[in-house]
Amino acid sequence: MTTPLHSRRQFLQQAALGSALVSYSLPRLAKADIDYRELLPESMTKAGGEFTNYGQPSPYEQQVIRWISANPDMPGNGVSWSPLHELQGTITPNGLHFERHHNGVPAIDPAQHQLLIDGLVDKPLVFSVDALKRYPMQSRICFIECGGNSNSSWRSQPILTAAGYAHGLVSNAEWTGIPVRLLLEEAGIKPEAKWVIAEAADGASLNVSIPLEKLMNDALLALYQNGERLRPENGYPLRLVLPGWEGIVNVKWLRQLRLSNAPAMSRDETAQYTDLMPNGSARQFSFEMASKSLITSPSQGMTLPDKPGIYQVTGLAWSGRGKITRVEVSADGGQTWVDAELQQPILSKAFTRFSLPWKWQGQYAVLQSRATDETGYIQPTREQLLKERGRHGFFHFNAIISWEVSEEGYISHVYPE
């Protein structure tokens, strides 16, 4: 194998033993081109800045932003992408959680906001936000992924934008709220109720249909995101969180849950968020986001400075069907695979960070990652996905993503097949 990948255990053992691999690589990284400055740095010669009531990132990190891509004729309709290629760990900080709005971010006074539960219930109920704050809450770390994430990968040519700006309509946070089941049971569910129409209080009057069963299972009416109240762009003051299901049904600015015996067949579940299949039919209600992974570093647009050199291949894997059980990495375009290490704890329907050291010898390479979830489902190649779904898709792209490494160490998005 000309592009050796090393298991983390093997790497650490070698590090501990001071083996040839490590004495070859890490000290060279450490020395860099820098001498330690004997003089005190300026920061030690004076008092530092003030305390702050609410902190902000370092001014040296101003490039770490969401990338906005909105409709010029309707600036409230679009997305902003999480910079996954700049992040580490698994939590997405609230300031960088992806956005998808159909008509902008409503400014909602929580004292004026209400949630109505009606339709096929014994007793319609109205909740103020203050009343909801007194209900039992649960927390769950889970990802939310827009059904349109990675949509550029359906195009015939690979897009050359940074990993997060092509695949970052997915983020992962600790959501805290009330099990929706508790509220529905309080209203009393009529036996004929099968669907729930959820409506947002935004300028798009966004509404979608959700099977009642999902709301009774693991859905949360979230009020908190990573400990603090929801951000406006993530649904303040109330949003649905449906772990593992596509973003649009995680309705933000939630104002109504109407129980029904049939779906509403609204615009966003008929004209949009459906999948045109090879036989000309449209697949609807594809709620569950399938197993997927993405190498965040090294990735599109980065360069490898040392040749040869040791690089950490790292990325994220997630599945709407449960836990990630395995992530494999290939450096030869999928001919051979090595198991990556998975960061603990591995949580169901949440980001799992994988990593693997890679010794790059300076040759042409194609880096790929492939996730498997606890149902046994394996992330498909792009070729397999196109075979199943055709070439006219826009939503629900979850195939393997490939980063080409040139002999000069430049990383580009490619379609290898």
Is the distance from CB of 338 to CB of 370 less than 8 angstroms?
Answer: no
> Using CB under 8 A, which of 35, 156, 157, 265 touches its own copies?
35
**Minimum CB–partner distance for residue 371 and its own copies (Å):** 18
- If binding means CB under 8 A, how many residues of this protein chain bind its own copies? 128
> Using CB under 8 A, which of 203, 301, 333, 390 touches its own copies?
203
> Using CB under 8 A, which of 16, 20, 265, 271 touches its own copies?
16
Question: What are the structure tokens assigned to 405, written together?
Answer: 């490494």
Binding status of residue 32 toward its own copies by CB under 8 A? yes
- Contacts to its own copies from residues 309-328, by CB under 8 A: 310-312, 314
Residue for token pair 């006074």 = 109
Spatial CB neighbours of 120, under 8 Å, sequence gap ≥ 6: 189, 190, 192, 193, 259, 260, 261
Spatial separation of the C-alpha atoms in residues 348 and 358, rounded to whole Å: 28
Is the distance from CB of 182 to CB of 316 less than 8 angstroms?
Answer: no
Binding status of residue 292 toward its own copies by CB under 8 A? no
Spatial CB neighbours of 44, under 8 Å, sequence gap ≥ 6: none
Q: Which is nearer to its own copies, 7 or 284 (CB)?
A: 7
Is the distance from CB of 79 to CB of 148 less than 8 angstroms?
Answer: yes
Q: Which is nearer to its own copies, 90 or 368 (CB)?
A: 90
Q: Which is nearer to its own copies, 166 or 386 (CB)?
A: 166
> Using CB under 8 A, which of 224, 285, 394, 415 touches its own copies?
224
Q: Mask 355-394, x = binds its own copies (CB under 8 A)?
A: x-x-------------------------------------
Binding status of residue 229 toward its own copies by CB under 8 A? yes
- Contacts to its own copies from residues 119-158, by CB under 8 A: 123-128, 130-131, 134-139
Q: Mask 334-353, x = binds its own copies (CB under 8 A)?
A: ---------x-x-x-----x
Q: Given its phi and psi angles, is residue 253 left (phi above 0), alpha (psi -120 to 50 degrees) or beta?
A: left
Spatial CB neighbours of 26, under 8 Å, sequence gap ≥ 6: 15, 310
Dihedral, 234, 235, 238, 240 alpha carbons, nearest 10: -70
CA angle 185, 189, 191 (to 5 degrees): 145
Question: What are the structure tokens assigned to 36, written together?
Answer: 């330690």
> Using CB under 8 A, which of 1, 37, 73, 265 touches its own copies?
37
- Contacts to its own copies from residues 231-270, by CB under 8 A: 231-234, 236-237, 253, 255
**Minimum CB–partner distance for residue 248 and its own copies (Å):** 16
Is the distance from CB of 362 to CB of 4 less than 8 angstroms?
Answer: no
> Using CB under 8 A, which of 19, 68, 283, 336 touches its own copies?
68
Residue for token pair 């009393």 = 188
Q: Which is nearer to its own copies, 12 or 414 (CB)?
A: 12
Binding status of residue 228 toward its own copies by CB under 8 A? yes
Q: Which is nearer to its own copies, 40 or 271 (CB)?
A: 40
Q: Which is nearer to its own copies, 207 or 381 (CB)?
A: 207
> Using CB under 8 A, which of 91, 159, 276, 414 touches its own copies?
91
> Using CB under 8 A, which of 4, 13, 19, 75 touches its own copies?
75
Residue for token pair 């219930």 = 121
Q: Which is nearer to its own copies, 2 or 43 (CB)?
A: 43
Question: What are the structure tokens assigned to 39, written together?
Answer: 């003089």
Residue for token pair 């075979």 = 387
**Minimum CB–partner distance for residue 410 and its own copies (Å):** 17
Q: Are strands 114-119 and 254-260 parallel, antiparallel or unpaired?
A: parallel
Sign of the dihedral defined by the CA atoms of residues 152, 157, 158, 161, in that order: negative
Q: Which is nearer to its own copies, 167 or 382 (CB)?
A: 167
